[in-house]
Chains A and B, each alone.
Chain A
Amino acid sequence: MSAAIEVAGLTTQFETRAGIVTAVNDVSFSVGRGRILGLVGESGSGKSVTGFSILGLVDPPGRVSGGQVLVAGTDLRGLTPEAMRKMRGKAVSMVFQDPMMTLNPVLRVGDQMARAVRAHDRVSTRAAWDRARAALEVVGIPAAAERLHAYPHQLSGGMRQRVAIAIAILHQPAVLIADEPTTALDVSIQGQILAEVRRLADDTGTAIVWITHDLAVVSSLADDICVMYAGRIVERGPAEAVIARPLHPYTRGLMDSVPARHEPGKPLPQIPGSTPSLLNLPSGCPFRNRCPRASDLCTTDPPEVGTATHSARCHHPLGDA
């Protein structure tokens, strides 16, 4: 199976006054057609920057400094700005976290969508509006023709996020990057959107990179999971395997902190401490200061352990894998 998107050794750095911060550190993954990859991590783990790095939309002083992003055989990093623009929205799309902020408040929904259509296809305004209406129907918006004339503030949060998703899939992209698109929504709306996204992947073959901090969401949605910590991928594997038998102590900690999986009445386990500053990472394994299994060995770079499909970077992986 050829991958819809293949990311290899992606590295993004920010030059700050205090020094160089490596927000995305040698990240590699690939997603096949119609599959969903859950990219999981805490705030500041570099998962959003990974998304922006793929699209070439990292704001200065940030800079993608290394790696490859192969979409349909093309390395996006080698493209000119104009060629890259033509890939955005067409081959690779992105949906953002906060639907209140991603739509332009002063343009009608249909107007924004028609502009997105016409960014890549030379069609009449009328044809562009027709395609916009069709896209709204795909994401399950009732009375789509009327919604086209609405302004974003007249729609609910869930509606707006559906509009954003509709905009992102206007050109049937090969890859959709979704950056925590359900975090700002009610749980019931979240469920509906997850179902739509799953259907989208199955029906159109769009590969989806679902960025989230919520393991509960990905466990039900994703085919594969990558867990990010301090800019690196620390564990990867099929969703069931990672959830059922996590190898990395960090993944275990994340899962134990999910309230739904926990016995009622007992205090919720937490991962002690907080994400380390990327300016001042400990040597070796970046998680060792918070890890219950850490030993002196962890001051050296952890090895890749596990199988070809399910692996982690850890000196002391859990279980017998």
Chain B
Amino acid sequence: MIAFILQRLMQSVLVVFAMSVIVFVGVYAIGNPIDVLIDPGATQSIRDALIERYGLDQPLWRQYFTFVTNVAQGDLGRSMVYNVPVTSLIFSRLPATLELVFVAMFLATALGVPLGIWAGYKPDSFSSKAIMALSILGFSVPTFWIGMLLIMGFAVNLGWLPSGGRGLVAEFLGFRTSLTSAEGWSHVLLPAINLSLFKMGLMIRLTRAGMVEAMRADYVKFARAQGLSEREVVFGHVLRNISIPIVTVFGLELGSTLAFAVVTESVFNWPGVGKLIIDSILQLDRPVMVSYLVMVVILFVLINLVVDIVYARLDPRVRLKGEE
């Protein structure tokens, strides 16, 4: 187990390195931040001073080298726009995204998996067909549009919930969150529902597909021949067998939602990292972009590591590499 984790961490160092090169070169290619940052009326000498200060006069490889050296010392650089360290900028935004994603993933899984189980258990019933039809809507209708409909319905017409922004924030276990107050929840609810619909559709379809296949398996028939009740057959025998694809997709979706909840955060004006990265791309804020994307890579690597470990717990036939 330890050997497996070490091996995976070493692989991830390589991945992170490769990714940082790609991101760095990519960001370098899309434009010169000086043109965006500086007042067009500034003199050439001010321009030159700024270029030199950010090291933009250096060749690409030297800029990259400087960046890596600084990162190795724990310094991700300063935002060109906000003029604060990138680390504190990202970490000030991260809790908002984390709580939003947490609520959304919880909704998607807690509703999606049971609905999928039902739809796969009784595939021919009317309710199952209705669930499947709705799940198609869930991931084919654009998120931003559903978001606007939600705002129109619940915020504008009914007036039940606020239309955007983050509510009351309190300190909880050293973490700034809005999930400790009812007012905070009222702000989280709409964007979280918006964010969860796509994932819920995915979870429903995935679970259903697994159910339909597993219910035909011999071990299900054998379990029934032993006199097990349908509940025990489904929850005792089948659920564990179909949980591997569910965990995989859960992990992938968790990662991509954390990194790219951009659309929902924009529609609901949610002050999370998604909005931060979009703003920094628009303003060509290079250090933020590069650091953020590298952090996303690390995040994915970690989530996949956890998913692999969970696999081995769920399926005894899976042996982790490096394990006897």
Interface residues of A (CB under 8 A from B): 55, 57, 59, 85-90, 93-94, 96, 98, 101-108, 115-116, 119-120, 151, 153, 164, 167-168, 170
Q: Which residue of A lies closest to B220 (CB)?
A: A104
Given A105-B219, A164-B222: A87 and B232 within 8 A (CB)? Answer: no
Q: How large is the interface on B (under 10, 10 to 19, 20 to 34, 35 or more residues)?
A: 20 to 34
Given A153-B316, A153-B317: A103 and B232 within 8 A (CB)? Answer: no
Additional A-B contact list (15), CB under 8 Å, known A55-B225, A86-B227: A87-B227, A88-B227, A89-B227, A96-B221, A102-B218, A104-B237, A105-B219, A105-B315, A105-B316, A106-B240, A106-B316, A115-B228, A153-B317, A167-B222, A168-B225
Within B188-240, the residues touching A (CB, 8 Å) are: 216-219, 221-229, 232, 236-237, 240
Give the docked Cα–Cα distance between A105 and B227 (Å). Answer: 19
Asked whether any CB of chain A lies closer than 8 Å to the CB of B98, the reply is no
How far apart are A74's CB and chain B's nearest CB, in angstroms?
A: 15
Given A86-B227, A119-B227: A102 and B219 within 8 A (CB)? Answer: yes
Closest 5 CB pairs of A and B: A89-B227, A101-B218, A88-B227, A89-B226, A151-B316
Q: Which residues of B contact A102 (CB under 8 A)?
A: 218-219, 221-222
Asked whether any CB of chain A lies closer than 8 Å to the CB of B241, the reply is yes
- In the complex, are the beta carbons of B228 and A116 less than 8 A apart? yes
Q: Out of B216, B225, B315, name the residue touching A94 (CB < 8 Å).
A: B225
Given A101-B218, A164-B222: A119 and B240 within 8 A (CB)? Answer: no
- In the complex, are the beta carbons of B226 and A88 less than 8 A apart? yes
Within B107-162, the residues touching A (CB, 8 Å) are: none
- In the complex, are the beta carbons of B240 and A107 less than 8 A apart? yes
User: Can you show 29 pairs from A to B with CB atoms below 8 A apart?
Assistant: A57-B221, A57-B225, A85-B224, A88-B224, A88-B226, A88-B227, A90-B227, A93-B226, A96-B218, A96-B222, A96-B225, A101-B217, A103-B219, A104-B240, A104-B241, A105-B219, A106-B240, A106-B241, A106-B315, A106-B317, A107-B240, A115-B226, A115-B228, A115-B236, A116-B223, A119-B227, A119-B228, A167-B222, A167-B226
